[in-house]
Chains A and B, each alone.
Chain A
Amino acid sequence: MKFLSRKATCNSHGQDSSYFLGWEEYEKNAYDEKTNPSGIIQMGLAENQLSFDLLESWIANNPDAAGFKRNGQSIFRELALFQDYHGLPEFKNALVQFMSQIRGNKVTFDPSKLVLTAGATSASETLIFSLANPGEAFLLPTPYYPGFDRDLKWRTEVEIVPIHCSSSNNFIVTKSALEDAYQRAQKRNLKVKGVVITNPSNPLGTTSTREELDLLVDFVQDKNIHLISDEIYSGTVFNSSPNKFISVAQVLKDRKLENSEVYKRVHILYSLSKDLGLPGFRVGALYSNDYTVVSAATKMSSFGLISSQTQYLLSCMLSDQKFTSHYIVENQNRLKNRYDKIVSGLRNAGIGVLPSDAGLFCYVDMRHLLSSNTFEAEMELWKKILYQVKLNISPGAACHCTEPGWFRVCFANMSEDTLSLALQRIKDFVDSTKRGDETRGASRSGRHSSRSVMSLTKKWVLRLSSNGHEPER
């Protein structure tokens, strides 16, 4: 392997961890309602399959869009030859409009500040390439999307320094946690270039509060660094309370920061993989008020342009505002129903969930089911749930969570019946565990690991923090 580059042979793509096991097992024994009813149910994949019918009917009713036609005229040639890295103008216009709609039209976006990429993965990496040099660092609140280890660090050679958040305050980012992370970075002689937040959060599903966003803007203003807000789940906010999702763009507007220095250092990432449930289409975008960033990123996007066919199809769909307004609302309702269902199902099994407002998953508290407050126990529980309960869920350690026992469970990538079955399996499992505990009673010597939590944390953070699975978001 010496024949290859360092990047090729190192492990920082983070895709080698034992977490892969879950995916492999699922693939070997995938649940199917008819053909394999006792198979493993996939609850580790954050895909939105709830609203496909809406998309299908739109496409069926608008044949021109998928047929390379505009007003009945074929524009196939134009599209076949279109490879301009500035993107199809009608698509960018439609996309910024959609982004605005998702934010209740409280903010507007300028298409000239938008850079299109093949998926949010490409957008994140391109943004980091534009903002940071090798060896510099970004601060990320934990727990965070495992893919960031690959997207932000691998080919860019940039470091991630975690901002430790805890369940004691629902994992909200605090000033002291920010400062602490910053200090830790400095101690490691890392130059901090910015903070990356995911709002709504993955894996938590919570939306950042106004206070948090103000704090973050103040912090980056003070330290003279960047703020990246990954708002890929912005269209999955199912909490009906109007101000639940606040985009960082809104904060900048409300605080009238358009002419300030910090304005140019706030960047937004987006994609249609979650809101529209179209991850296969590979549509991502980065939005920046800094034209240097936009210009550099535009050129870099050459390495991951969106197929013109897809750009055109989606430009038609997203310009249909009647459709998009209806879709946004209907999608959110369906997500809410699922969320309610899973929360009550889990509650029924005595399992609590972190209160959340968005996303395709919920953050589930299974600390009381751990044999000990360690990541080893978390892995043990995860394996049990995978092999015995036959559910593939994501352990918190894969997301760099500092507290063992939390799991991310997806609810939008299956039918309602499958979800019911999954909940039933969980209930049965918990009940049997309780019964098991009762029979064993006091004779349990409680073989707790005598090793310290810290050393185990290190082990598991190392092994699992580089998350396995590909589409896992």
Chain B
Amino acid sequence: MTEKDEEKQSKNKNKNKNKNKSDDSGGGGGSMRVIVPLQGVVQGRGGLVLGSIIPCALFYFLRLYLKRNRPPPSSPPHLSDSPSQSPSPSPSSPSHLSDLPRSHSRTLLSPRPSPALVSSRANSIVKAPESPYYSSRKTVLHDPYHPLTNPRGVLDLGLAENKLSLDLIEEWVVENGRDSIVGGGGGGGGGGELSIKGIATYQPFDGMLSLKVALAEFMSEVMERSVSFSPSQMVLTAGASAAIEILSFCLADSGNAFLVPSPYYPGFDRDIKLRSGVEIIPVTCRSTDNFNLSISALDQAFNQAKKKGLKVRGVLISNPSNPVGSILSRDMLYSLLDFAQEKNIHIICDEIFAGSIHGDEEFVSMGEVLDSVDFDRDRVHIVYGLSKDLSLPGFRVGVIYSFNENVLAVAKKMTRFTSISVPTQHLLISMLSDTKFIQEYIKTNKVRLRKMYADFVAALNKLGIRCTKSSGGFYCWADMSGLIRSYNEKGELELFDKLLNVAKINVTPGSACHCIEFGWFRCCFTTLTEKDIPVVIERIQKVVETCKS
């Protein structure tokens, strides 16, 4: 027994690294305190509890020690070894998963530190299966339709570009453009010396005052003068995506959430969540209501979020909406304001399509409603941009319009990361100040939108495809549920695939817009010309026929 004890004693000494050798002589007492209970365990006596706790404790401390001093386990292998230059990540394949245990054990064997990690954000961006909204862009880019040179190419009804009135803008630029970009002379005719100093040097990062003035005027004009905007409440960004992101950073902390009526613009997933870490809680809208928003749905979503422990910081609405194209009524806007007040949250109104109304309904801006009602404006923010109404997505012009001084102050600082290029600002100041041109443009654009929308919807109707009534924007929200094989996401994506790869038409499936009902597709009609419509219809018809057979 004594020998065993001594054995145990030495074992315990080895385990417990804090004991030093000199303890040997006097350590007898210390280790006896350990030994006795163990002895008790061995002899089946009292000390059972201690006898089991102490070795467990010692084992725990041993593990802790090893853990602290062990190099960190290697991360899931990142995709840097796939030299594909396309940005689309391949969906996570099983091989990645099986890689994990192997590398883990490799690390335990070799004490060398693992390769430096990229951020988890970067990993998730690269690994996330890409939404069809983005992945189809590649197909389109590789094989774009052209009536003469590539009549069998892909017709793009997926990206909201307004090509209907771009010729008007091009005309203006050809006549007036060059002098407005560079030159102290300004104006047409080539007068004045070229002076780059005015455009090359640092300007206010939140946009030049003259551009804000011009944009405020433009926004007002586009909304038919129902509301006026003040340049001092504007912050300009390089694109509306940046505007949404900045508001996400300002109004919510990472892990908080915004309520967003669904179906919604697929880009919001990136704009709101990617870097600011704010969650989106979709608020379901249904075809039975024409996908209109209801306060009860908002309320329900808010309460559900609360139950899940998610703090809702705001509601993000797009008006006219993308993808459906509906307009919020004045009453709904009032109700939204009440809702926001009641829940003490913000409202972000994305009014980027405000100038693209083609229906008969009157568009009411949130700005207009606020003018007429006594309301806490600090919680209302409007987003705008020139990518839609003025067909200039390439120039990157976004606007945050807020009534909240604090938000404006912070947003202004954030524009350091996303300012509009100064030559572009100069060009736009010139263009937007040409009131005659702008008025003509807005009017003509609306007429063309109206006609194209009517023609396209009529053509789809002939195929038996119904569209939700839409009053603004560039899309038809088409019901192709009759054509899908199985009433689920898989069925929808199968149809999407058929449309893209067989019919060679790129549309956006409703699931990419987080629509709760299946079979809805977003079709942009502004990339088309009159001649393209029959081509589109013919191609869809072929798919319709194969679906029916």
- Chain A interface residues (CB < 8 Å from chain B): 1, 3-8, 13, 15, 45, 47, 49, 52, 55-56, 59-60, 63, 66-68, 74, 76-77, 79-83, 86, 112, 118-119, 121-122, 125, 129-134, 150-151, 155, 193-194, 220, 223-226, 261, 264-265, 277-283, 290-293, 295-300, 302-310, 313, 470-471
Contact = CB atoms under 8 A, between A and B. Distances in A.
A307 B82 CA distance: 30
Given A121-B416, A130-B121, A86 B87 contact: yes
B200 A280 contact: yes
Interface in B406-435: 406-407, 410, 413-414, 416-424, 427
A291 to B, nearest CB: 5
B275 A129 contact: yes
Given A223-B113, A305-B396, A470 B416 contact: yes
A80 B80 contact: no
A265 B116 contact: yes
A83 B227 CA distance: 30
B196 A56 contact: yes
A280 B182 CA distance: 13
B170 interface: yes
A150 B415 CA distance: 12
Interface of B: 78-80, 82-85, 87, 89, 113-123, 125-126, 161, 163, 166, 169-170, 173-174, 177-178, 181-182, 194-197, 199-203, 205, 238-239, 241-242, 245, 249-254, 256, 270-271, 274-276, 313, 344, 346, 378-379, 387, 391-396, 406-407, 410, 413-414, 416-424, 427
Given A49-B197, A77-B170, A291-B83, A3 B378 contact: yes
Contact of B170 (A49, A76, A300): A76
B128 to A, nearest CB: 10
A343 to B, nearest CB: 25
B249 A470 contact: no
15 contacts: A45-B202, A81-B391, A118-B419, A133-B120, A224-B116, A291-B80, A293-B122, A296-B125, A296-B126, A303-B418, A304-B242, A304-B417, A309-B395, A310-B424, A470-B205
Contact of B200 (A6, A55, A86, A121): A55
A129 B396 contact: no
A307 B239 CA distance: 9
B417 A52 contact: no
A279 B419 CA distance: 11
Contacts of B392: 80
A131 B421 contact: no
B238 A118 contact: yes
A52 B196 contact: yes
A149 to B, nearest CB: 12
B194 A59 contact: yes
Nearest to B169: A80
Given A7-B249, A56-B194, A83-B393, A280 B201 contact: yes
B407 A293 contact: no
Contacts of A283: 421
A7 B276 CA distance: 10
A306 B396 contact: yes
Nearest to B420: A307
A304 B413 contact: no
B417 A118 contact: yes
Contacts of A226: 116
Contacts of A59: 182, 194, 196
B114 A224 contact: yes
- Which residue among A6, A281, A292, A300 has the maximum number of chain B CB atoms within 10 Å of its CB? A292
A309 B427 contact: yes
A452 B117 CA distance: 41
Contact of B423 (A47, A151, A292, A310): A310
Given A4-B250, A66-B178, A80-B169, A293 B87 contact: no
Pairs of residues from A and B, 8 with the lowest C-beta to C-beta distance, nearest first = A308-B394, A280-B422, A296-B122, A307-B421, A471-B202, A82-B394, A304-B418, A307-B424
B79 to A, nearest CB: 5
B89 to A, nearest CB: 7
Contacts of A299: 87, 125, 270, 274
| Max chain B Cβ within 10 angstroms of own Cβ: one of A77, A297, A307 | A307
Given A224-B114, A281-B423, 9 more contacts: A5-B252, A6-B253, A8-B251, A77-B166, A82-B393, A129-B121, A281-B200, A291-B82, A292-B126
Contacts of A261: 115
A422 B419 CA distance: 32
Given A3-B378, A295-B126, A303-B275, A118 B173 contact: no
A47 to B, nearest CB: 6
| Residue from A3, A132, A277 having most chain B Cβ neighbours under 10 A | A3
A178 to B, nearest CB: 16
A1 to B, nearest CB: 6
Contacts of B177: 67-68
A220 to B, nearest CB: 8
Given A280-B199, A299-B274, A292 B122 contact: yes
Contacts of B82: 291
Nearest to A125: B417
A224 B202 contact: no
Contacts of A223: 113
B418 A292 contact: no
A8 to B, nearest CB: 4
Given A60-B194, A82-B394, A121-B417, A133 B121 contact: yes
B352 to A, nearest CB: 14
A79 B394 CA distance: 6
Contacts of B174: 67-68, 74, 76
Contact of A281 (B173, B253, B421): B421
A74 B171 CA distance: 10
B201 to A, nearest CB: 5
Contact of A278 (B200, B250, B418): B200
Contacts of B120: 133
Which one of B83, B256, B393 has the greatest number of beta carbons of chain A within 10 Å?
Answer: B393
Nearest to B115: A261
A304 B250 CA distance: 17
A381 B122 CA distance: 46
A151 B416 CA distance: 9
A68 B173 contact: yes
A130 B122 contact: yes
B271 to A, nearest CB: 8
Nearest to A14: B413
